[in-house]
Amino acid sequence: MALALALWRWCIAAALLFSAASGRPATFSQDFRITWADSHIRELDGGRGIQLTLDQGSGCGFASKYQYLYGRVSMKIKLVPGDSAGTVTAFYMNSDTDTIRDELDFEFLGNRSGQPYTVQTNVYAHGKGDREQRVNLWFDPSQDFHEYSIMWCHSRVIFSVDQVPIRVYKNNEAIGIPFPKSQPMGVYSTLWEADDWATRGGIEKIDWSKAPFYAYYKDFDIEGCPVPGPAGCPSNPNNWWEGPTCKVLSPEAAKRYRWVRTNHMIYDYCTDRKRYPVPPPECSAGI
């Protein structure tokens, strides 16, 4: 009986691993659950897409049913159109721990009509964050769906927009800099009010006469190792997130990365001397 139970548990774990690692597009209800304000989230197209709503009563959010240890997560998102100042649409991974949490953030900061949409990324490792970078998107992300992805490997974390890298955070543990590596993380997303800081440092407030605000999601894709899962899964060298594709950007990806950093980056904590008279150690080590 014990052997049969163990085999059954292994089969369930293996099935979860296969479905996640295969990168099959999921419906919302397969892999996610609503975390708050279920009246503000509506499934579309048989669950292959969803609509998030923000009004004066509430924002809303959802999370993956499982946590993962390494891999790649992506979603296609159409952001709040028009005057979206003061709103934040977030897509992130989080270890769901307090003082030592790990977190990898995409935060899309709303704007006044006609201004560029800004995406802020941040990395928390062992409870330490404050590593913000901001990039102005080179297109209007409210007019159509665009793919946003986080690739989490042993050697680095890569944030990408439509497969264009916009940030690379390297593993510099060899010189004592924390890196998220041991805590599994869930996948989260929220639409919420943050007009005390989101648009021009809080100068631009939400115009509630434009509410409700909507953001749309589709093509949920998770390629990773679910936890709990088969023992040793995250360290299996056959997993692509352990292989050479994670160790270095391709020449074309490196070229696109330089283009983004040169032409569209508007803030980097590493160069903020008011905040950091002495740059954090990872800045000189190469991030």
Whether 233 and 219 have beta carbons less than 8 Å apart is answered as no
User: What letter would DSSP give residue 250?
Assistant: -
pTM value?
0.89
The predicted structure's pLDDT at residue 287: 60
The predicted structure's pLDDT at residue 60: 98
Pairing type for strands 60-64 and 32-36 reads antiparallel
Whether 141 and 77 have beta carbons less than 8 Å apart is answered as yes
Kindly name the residue from 103, 204, 223, 282 that is annotated as catalytic.
103
Each residue's pLDDT expressed in tens, for the chain with a length of 287 residues: 443 333 333 333 333 333 444 455 567 988 999 999 999 999 999 889 999 999 999 999 999 999 998 899 999 999 999 999 999 999 999 998 878 999 999 999 999 988 899 999 999 999 999 999 999 999 999 999 999 999 999 899 999 999 999 999 999 999 999 999 889 999 999 999 999 998 888 899 999 999 999 999 999 999 888 887 766 666 666 777 777 778 889 999 999 999 999 999 999 999 999 999 999 999 987 66
All structural domains of the chain, each given as residue ranges with its CATH number in brackets, are 2-285 (2.60.120.200)
The predicted structure's pLDDT at residue 237: 67
Is 242 considered catalytic here? Answer: no
The predicted structure's pLDDT at residue 225: 82
| CA angle 131–136–141, rounded 5-degree value | 115
Is 193 considered catalytic here? Answer: no
15 sits in which H/E element: helix 2-21
Helix segments in 74-169, DSSP class H: none
Kindly name the residue from 43, 107, 193, 242 that is annotated as catalytic.
107
